[in-house]
């Protein structure tokens, strides 16, 4: 799908008008809300909110990484809650989308990584999250993360 900047469209129309051809219409871009990864992100955020995850931060990765479209960072108050949040999230996604997500770190419950393909989810205990500070690494410059 070709996307044109406004200037490209104007220049293309002028060049085509001079050559006597009809100007091609740029293809409409898909709104982010209609992308499958955006729908998956919404399901993940809803699940984490319903289960009382704390400091949930979605981070768009478009243009930063090819591994996923979004990253979500969240905290649980305890090891038990981190494990519960991750298990419920994986179960909900399997039930609603049929998608099986890969999960690592559930055994210790300090930091659980859930790879859902287009969205990667990190669920931390607060102390571990403060130590690694993933938000600072991935958030746009000049953005202040919640709780910072």
pLDDT, tens digit, 9 for 90 and up, residues 96-136: 999 899 999 999 999 999 999 889 999 999 999 999 998 88
Judged against a pLDDT cut of 50, whether residue 10 lies above it is answered with no
Domain ranges for the chain: 32-138
Is the model more confident about 4 or about 69?
69
Q: pTM to 2 decimals?
A: 0.71
The three-state (H, E, C) secondary structure of the chain, written as one string: CCCCCHHHHHHHHHHHHHHCCCCCCCCCCCCHHHCHHHHHHHHHHHHHHHCCCEEEEEEECCCCCCCCCEEEEEECCCHHHHHHHHHHHHHHHHHHHCCCCEEECCCCCCEEEEECCCEEEEEECHHHHHHHCHHHHHCCCCCCCCCC
pLDDT of residue 61: 86
Q: Which CATH class is domain 32-138?
A: alpha beta
């Amino acid at each position: 799908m070709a996307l044109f900047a406004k200037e490209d469209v104007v220049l293309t129309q002028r060049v085509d008008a001079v050559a006597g051809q009809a100007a091609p219409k740029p293809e409409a871009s898909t709104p982010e809300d209609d992308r499958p990864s955006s729908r998956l992100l919404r399901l993940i955020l809803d699940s984490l909110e319903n289960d009382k995850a704390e400091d949930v931060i979605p981070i768009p990765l478009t243009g930063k990484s090819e591994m996923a479209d979004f990253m979500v960072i969240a905290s649980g108050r305890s090891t038990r809650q981190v494990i519960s949040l991750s298990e419920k999230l994986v179960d909900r996604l399997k039930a609603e989308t049929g998608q099986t997500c890969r999960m690592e770190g559930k055994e210790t419950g300090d930091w659980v990584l859930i790879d859902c393909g287009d969205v990667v989810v990190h669920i931390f205990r607060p102390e571990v999250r403060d130590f690694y500070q993933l938000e600072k690494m991935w958030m746009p410059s000049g953005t202040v993360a919640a709780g910072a």
